[in-house]
Chain A
Amino acid sequence: MKVNAAPRILIVAGLCAAALIGLVVSEGFARQSGEEVLLPMEAVDPRSLLSGHYVLLNPAQRLEPGQTCPTGGDLEWVALQQSGDIYVVAGGAESREQAQLLGLPVKGHFTCIEPGEALPGVEATPGLVTLSLGIDRFHINQTEALRIEQVLREQNVDAASRAFAIVSIGRDGRGRLKGLQIDGERLELTWL
């Protein structure tokens, strides 16, 4: 049976639209059903004005002098461990199973700068673990974006973090952004 061009085009266009809707719905469900973790953030700039108003995200945790860098940063999986209200990097692993032995597994990698030891006349400096989960921006209206950016800039190195990324770790091991927590206020992504 030969199908004419017009119905063929409509079928393909319908499938494309359905695929896009399916992507949005499945990602929404995965975000809702995943395990929620709080990750501390550091300030980064600049925002891209051409891509809409958003806050650039840089999940990063501080390492105090005396602490050591977790290993396996360039591997495919990262294990997260709970530390109080937030989650920190426990180490990297080649597979989900290996990461599960260390903590909560999530796809991604990290880089680490070792803390500097105190020397005569030189103060000890903190290290930094920067996490890369493929989540790098949070789209929000201009007013909120500027306020969040201001909070991130004002964060003192010695003070406790004021900004956190709320990330949902799905069954597939992917981290999906759920929102931000700024000074205790939750800004969650919604459908509207």
Chain B
Amino acid sequence: MASYKDKLKQDLDRWIAEGLVAADKREPILASIPEARRVDAATALAWVGALLLGIAVITFVAANWDATPKLVRFAVLLTAFLGLAGGGAWAAHKERNVLSNILLMVAALVFAASIGLTGQIFDIAGDPKAASYGAGVAAFALALAGRSTGAAVVGLVFIALGDFADREWFAGSESEAPWMLLFAPLAGYLALRWASAPLAHVAALGILYCFGWFTARFEVDAGAAFFLSIILGGMAAGARWLYTQDRPFAGVFYGWFAWGALLLFAIAGYVPISDETGQNAGILHRIVWLAASGGLLALGRFDRHSLVTTVGVLSIIGAICALLSDLGLDLLAAAGVFLLCAVAALIGGLMLRRKAKTS
């Protein structure tokens, strides 16, 4: 695969031929681009060797696990964890940030495994929820100590596992508050502060999970679901503002929150508004849903945000299917509704075009 520098060489030759760039600028421009890091054969062999050595050690320990005294097994776990965390500390000291991040993430995973294996070694009856929360909190502590986005992702996953363990999800107001309510916003803050895309994706999903819990807590009440979708829409607008301010990875939140808001809005329209009649918001909801999806699609194109555009397209398809399903075989009525929507979209587009010309 050609590197950025190779592509630039081709472009520069073309620009020089077209007279856009002076020929004597070619070498200085290319010199300003650093060479892509290449792994030489010796380094690659060292990585492979280290990997195989690790597998050999793990296999040897696993083969003798049953015959190994309990205290030795426990010591192996602690040594592995402390060795990885110590390696992470050393890498942080040497300012090898990527290595430190990876080692702390693996240390967080090893600590989580150690909690489970310690219970097995000493026959300690464990509470799966407490074990997952413990692993999650330890991973977050390592993440904060070493600025490790990988450890933070591991932490959020284990907090989610703790939230899911032994939980009665639709227990309504009886359901316990998930720890994710605290840790998902914390992870979101860290993702923006540390400019981490993976952490931003996981944190955004965690926040959506919290909204799902709130919806379940309100026993899927239509009014509450509409209200929550509006709040999520507001959060998407806030993330969009950060995105337009060039805040790194705010766009990730913008996309996920927009998706969550539309999904929650779609669900809210199918929940009965009144317990007595059992009627839902009906065709009016589907029309608003269709209009909101079109609006989001236009916004996604305007912002050049592929996730938002995709959400808009998928949502339009969903809204159209819902409308057709509601109208049944009354194709004339369906044609009328779609004509109205098309006219509204055209008028909206023309107004935007006129506004763009005048400004």
The segment from B66-74, B172-180, B184-192 found at the interface with A is B66-74
B111 x A16 contact (CB < 8 A): yes
CA distance A126 to B115 in the complex (A): 41
Q: Which 10 A-B pairs have the closest CB atoms?
A: A13-B85, A8-B145, A5-B92, A9-B89, A6-B93, A6-B89, A12-B145, A9-B146, A134-B125, A12-B141
B160 to chain A, nearest CB (A): 20
Chain B neighbourhood of A176, CB < 8 A: 124-125
What distance in Å separates the Cβ of B192 from its nearest Cβ neighbour in chain A? 20
Chain A 43-88 interface residues, beta-carbon cutoff 8 Å to B: 51-53
| Known A7-B89, A9-B146; further 19 A-B contacts with Cβ < 8 A | A5-B100, A5-B146, A5-B147, A6-B90, A6-B92, A9-B89, A13-B81, A13-B89, A19-B134, A20-B114, A24-B74, A133-B125, A134-B125, A138-B123, A139-B123, A175-B125, A176-B125, A192-B69, A192-B71
> B120 to A23, Cβ gap below 8 A?
no
Of chain A, the residue at the smallest CB distance from B100 is A5
- A163 part of interface (Cβ distance < 8 Å): no
Known pairs A17-B81, A23-B124, A52-B66; A10 contacts B138 (CB<8 A):
no
A13 in contact with B142 given A23-B118, A139-B120, A142-B66 (CB within 8 Å): yes
Q: Does A28 contact B (CB under 8 A)?
A: yes
Given contacts A6-B89, A13-B107, A141-B66, contact A27 B122 (CB under 8 A): yes
Whether B82 lies near A17 (C-beta < 8 A) is: yes
Among residues of B, the one whose C-beta sits closest to the C-beta of A15 is B141
List residues of chain A with CB within 8 A of the CB of B81: 13, 16-17
Which B residues contact A (CB, under 8 angstroms)? 65-67, 69-71, 74, 77-78, 81-82, 85-86, 88-90, 92-93, 100, 104, 107, 111, 114-115, 118, 120-125, 127, 134, 138, 141-142, 144-147
How many residues belonging to A are interface residues under a CB distance threshold of 8 Å? 41
What does the 1/0 interface line of A18-30 toward B look like (CB < 8 Å)? 0111011001100
- Please report the C-alpha to C-alpha distance between residue A127 and residue B142 in the assembled complex, in whole angstroms: 52
Q: Does A131 contact B (CB under 8 A)?
A: no
Question: Within the complex, what minimum Cβ distance (angstroms) separates B333 from chain A?
Answer: 53
Partner pick for B145 among A11, A20, A142, A189, CB 8 A cutoff: A11
What are the residues of chain B within 8 A of A28 when measuring CB–CB?
122
Give residues 133-190 of A contacting B (CB, 8 Å).
133-139, 141-142, 174-177, 189-190
What A residues does B111 contact at CB under 8 A?
A: 16, 20
Chain B residues within 8 Å of A13, by CB: 81-82, 85-86, 89, 107, 142
Query: Measured between alpha carbons, how far is A191 from B142 in the docked complex, in Å?
Result: 30
Q: Which residues of B sit under 8 angstroms from A9, Cβ to Cβ?
A: 85, 88-89, 92, 104, 142, 145-146
Distance A19 CA – B141 CA, assembled complex (angstroms): 13
Residues of A within 8 A of B78 (CB): 17, 20-21
From residue A192, how far is it (CB to closest CB) to chain B in Å? 5
Distance (whole angstroms) from the CB of B141 to the closest CB of chain A: 5
List the B side residues contacting A133 at CB < 8 Å.
125
Q: How far is the CA of A14 from the CA of B121 in the complex (A)?
A: 21
Cβ-defined contact, A10 with B70, below 8 A: no
16 CB contacts below 8 A, A to B, read A4-B92, A6-B89, A12-B85, A13-B81, A13-B86, A15-B141, A16-B85, A16-B138, A17-B81, A27-B122, A28-B122, A53-B66, A134-B125, A137-B123, A142-B66, A174-B125
A14 to B138, CA, bound (A): 11
Give bound CA distance, A134 to B121, whole Å: 17
Instruction: Give B79's nearest chain A residue, CB to CB.
Output: A17
Return A41 CB to nearest CB of chain B, in Å. Answer: 15
Closest to B114 in A: A20
* A139: chain B residues within 8 A (beta carbon): 120-121, 123
Residues of B near A20 (CB, < 8 A) are 77-78, 111, 114-115, 118
